[in-house]
Structure 1
Amino acid sequence: MPPSPRRPAARGAAKSAIRQLSWRTPEPAPIVLVAGPEEVCAERAIAGLRDYLKAEDPSLEVSDIRADDYAAGTLLGMASPSLFGEPRLVRVAGVEKCSDAFLAEALAYLENPQEGATIVLRHTGASVRGKKLLEAIRSGIGGGVEISVPAIKRDSDRFDFAAGEFKAAGKRIAPSALRSLVSAFADDLTELAAACQQLISDVPGDIGDQVVERYYGGRVETTAFAVADTAIAGRYGEALITLRHALASGADPVPLVAAIASKLRTMARVVGTREPSAALAARLGMKDWQVDRAKRDLVGWTESALATAIQAAARADAEVKGASRDPVFAVERLVTVIATRSPYGS
């Protein structure tokens, strides 16, 4: 299906006066600001813009600039029409570290954008450098649009991301299979995105639990959540066996502790509340199933025991990251505290 015609940037009523676009459905404009730290989504957005423009005109010229290693005159030179007037896409990286020369020329360019050119400015938000440029774009100067790519950190955000991957591809995946997949890549959005795309391209038809297990059942993070589940349930012997099997299979103590700590933090957010799951999930920015699971995990726990377990997780996290010479012992001690629900050695 041919791309829809370009629409002029519309003025909004929020912080920005320019139109806000989803990274999944980018559209070109004279200036496209891609702002935020989530690199996976930013890369998708910029690639989507290239594909959009290529579909409009295969003769598209694509150029790349580093804003932090900038030669004077480059932006205007790449954006200006060539002899045959081909459309131009200029991708600018490192705007959060831009040089004074780039900043001055970019601000001047906003006042007179070149016909047929799309300038994509990538700003990670890692610094306030380039703030004047961002404010000018967001005020509407240059006829720009903004694509926000905020960090994806919470479990619910990763779940939504993965669900969106399958929805965008018109692929159905069972909720339980999706939860397993997200758990298997809890610490790496790039790998989660790649896993989703692999399943989408490899698997004909719907995706269920058995498919995810066949492809990714051996992931360390999945094993980590199995360790966490058995320890939290108080099955001490089973938890130690699962842990030792994971370590023998090459599991790294760092993601093991991270997975356990993640479940404890979720429990801590839910403990002591009497709200219905749907209302609590909405207030905490979680999914209903996450709240229900945390409530089940809390059976038999006291707030004091949970606090002890969280303190043990914080200690173990520091130890597996270099504060101890024996990270394996640090994980075993953490599992012991959680499974016995009492301080180590008591």
Structure 2
Amino acid sequence: MSAAPRTSARGQVGGDWRDVPLAPVVLVYGPEDFIASRAVDDVRRKLRAGSPELELTSIDAAHYTAGQLGMVASPSLFSEPKLIEATALASMSDDFLQDALAYIKDPAPDVTLLLIHAGGVRGKKLLDALKALGVPRVECQPLKKDVEKAQFVGAEFSLAKRRIEAAAVRALVAAVGASLSELAAACSQLISDTTGMVGTDDVDKYYGGRVEATAFRVADAALAGNGPAALSTLRHALATGVDPVPLVGALAMKVRQVAKVFSLRGSSAQLARETGMSPWQVEAAQRDAGYWSGPALVTAIKVLAEADAQVKGEAKDPVYAVEHAVTVISQAARR
């Protein structure tokens, strides 16, 4: 197999972790382990598709021995293409730094060097040299915003040629969105275990018992003025050991979203840009806003501020505090 085209020295090439560009040297950079593992898998898959006999070697940059990179990259007896995965660059040794700086100036033919750096400034001289040479850099940053996680879910389903309702995306992110690897596994399970359009009932069936999902079901019912459903769900959650803190947090987030869109007009896409929310969050908040008036929102914000302080230590009975907040909000929504 011939070596991948060498990159230009005019600037670093940005790489998508779902479709990593092949080159003699590729940098996978950032602290999100799941995205990094996906990027590494993509490189392996592409190289093996072209050369099933691909030789894979791993190097630990933190415990590196001088000369190891050159030895591993040297041609083998049968000249099989090679993939060298260098890990732990965030704590690379000085020997690795020096050898890598020399290697990237003249990579070996039929060898792909995949550099995996978890972030930080260790090896800045190498990072700068890679940038100057135009080496592809795949960013592996955490997806912190719900809109980013929702886009991730949408992409997972799109790649599998499946469809999922916007409300189901929201429910799934609420239930398992804290961990990207768990969110990916949840997408995979729903894709393999269901048929047709995936809806909220499917998400609830598999993940409705999660604390986050329960919290948002309570919040949805309360914001819609459905007090009996909100209190019933709340009491079931508390009876099964759910802590009051995330319940109040979900209520507060929902109320804030309604307050953000309450007096705004425009498309969901336009309001999403103005508020920092995703379009589906805007649409859900606009639906909830139909149950609310300005004074009622003020009441809800006040009672939630009190409840937040109470469930975090200012009250002897945090369960009563969250029940009181849910009751007040449900009643305020009906007026």
Q: Is the aligned partner of 1:191 residue 2:182?
A: yes
Give the equivalent residue in structure 2 for 1:101: 95
Give the equivalent residue in structure 1 for 2:131: 138
Q: What letter corresponds to residue 125 of structure 2 in structure 1?
A: K
Give the equivalent residue in structure 1 for 2:14: 20
Counterparts of 1:10-89 in structure 2, within 5 Å, are 17-89=11-83
* Cα distance change, pair 337–46 in 1 and its aligned pair in 2 (3 A): same
CA distance in structure 2 between the partners assigned to 1:309 and 1:71 by the alignment: 62
How far residue 156 of structure 1 moved from its aligned partner, in angstroms, is 0.7
Greater CA drift, 88-97 or 155-164: 88-97
How far residue 49 of structure 1 moved from its aligned partner, in angstroms, is 0.7
Q: Is the aligned partner of 1:111 residue 2:111?
A: no
How far residue 160 of structure 1 moved from its aligned partner, in angstroms, is 0.2
How far residue 158 of structure 1 moved from its aligned partner, in angstroms, is 0.7
Aligned length: 325
How far residue 69 of structure 1 moved from its aligned partner, in angstroms, is 2.8
Contact 1:257/1:331 (8 A) holds in 2: no
Q: 2:207 aligns with which of 208, 216, 238?
A: 216
How far residue 208 of structure 1 moved from its aligned partner, in angstroms, is 3.4
- Which SS does the other structure have where 2:185 is aligned? helix
Q: Structure 1: where are the runs of 5+ without partners?
A: 342-346
Q: Is the aligned partner of 1:162 residue 2:150?
A: no
Q: Is the aligned partner of 1:172 residue 2:163?
A: yes
Contact 2:258/2:288 (8 A) holds in 1: yes
CA distance in structure 1 between the partners assigned to 2:27 and 2:9 by the alignment: 15
Greater CA drift, 113-122 or 283-292: 283-292
Q: Is the aligned partner of 1:294 residue 2:285?
A: yes
The percentage of counterpart residues that share the same residue type is 42
* Cα distance change, pair 108–8 in 1 and its aligned pair in 2 (3 A): closer
CA distance in structure 1 between the partners assigned to 2:102 and 2:310 by the alignment: 53
CA distance in structure 2 between the partners assigned to 1:90 and 1:265 by the alignment: 49
* Cα distance change, pair 294–198 in 1 and its aligned pair in 2 (3 A): same
- Which SS does the other structure have where 2:271 is aligned? helix
Q: TM-score, normalised by structure 1?
A: 0.81
Q: Is the aligned partner of 1:333 residue 2:324?
A: no
- Which SS does the other structure have where 1:111 is aligned? coil
CA distance in structure 2 between the partners assigned to 1:133 and 1:243 by the alignment: 54
Q: What letter corresponds to residue 73 of structure 1 in structure 2?
A: G
CA distance in structure 2 between the partners assigned to 1:77 and 1:312 by the alignment: 65
How far residue 287 of structure 1 moved from its aligned partner, in angstroms, is 2.4
* Cα distance change, pair 73–309 in 1 and its aligned pair in 2 (3 A): farther
* Cα distance change, pair 7–51 in 1 and its aligned pair in 2 (3 A): same
Give the equivalent residue in structure 1 for 2:122: 129
C-alpha offsets along residues 13-37 of structure 1, whole Å, 9 cap, x if unaligned?
Answer: xxxx122221111232111111223
* Cα distance change, pair 102–170 in 1 and its aligned pair in 2 (3 A): same
- Which SS does the other structure have where 2:21 is aligned? coil
CA distance in structure 2 between the partners assigned to 1:237 and 1:121 by the alignment: 56
Q: What letter corresponds to residue 128 of structure 1 in structure 2?
A: V
Contact 1:234/1:339 (8 A) holds in 2: no
- Which SS does the other structure have where 2:104 is aligned? helix
C-alpha offsets along residues 161-198 of structure 1, whole Å, 9 cap, x if unaligned?
Answer: 00000111112223333332222213222111001111
How far residue 71 of structure 1 moved from its aligned partner, in angstroms, is 2.7
- Which SS does the other structure have where 2:136 is aligned? strand
Q: What letter corresponds to residue 300 of structure 1 in structure 2?
A: S
Give the equivalent residue in structure 2 for 1:241: 232
How far residue 229 of structure 1 moved from its aligned partner, in angstroms, is 2.2
Q: What letter corresponds to residue 340 of structure 1 in structure 2?
A: V
C-alpha offsets along residues 263-286 of structure 1, whole Å, 9 cap, x if unaligned?
Answer: 345445445544543212124443
Greater CA drift, 184-193 or 249-258: 249-258
Contact 2:28/2:115 (8 A) holds in 1: yes
Counterparts of 1:307-322 in structure 2, within 5 Å, are 307-308=301-302, 311-312=305-306, 315=309, 319=312
Contact 1:264/1:309 (8 A) holds in 2: no
- Which SS does the other structure have where 1:278 is aligned? helix
Q: TM-score, normalised by structure 2?
A: 0.83
Q: What letter corresponds to residue 241 of structure 1 in structure 2?
A: S
- Which SS does the other structure have where 1:144 is aligned? coil
CA distance in structure 2 between the partners assigned to 1:231 and 1:39 by the alignment: 37
Q: What letter corresponds to residue 289 of structure 1 in structure 2?
A: W
CA distance in structure 1 between the partners assigned to 2:8 and 2:231 by the alignment: 58
Greater CA drift, 301-310 or 197-206: 301-310
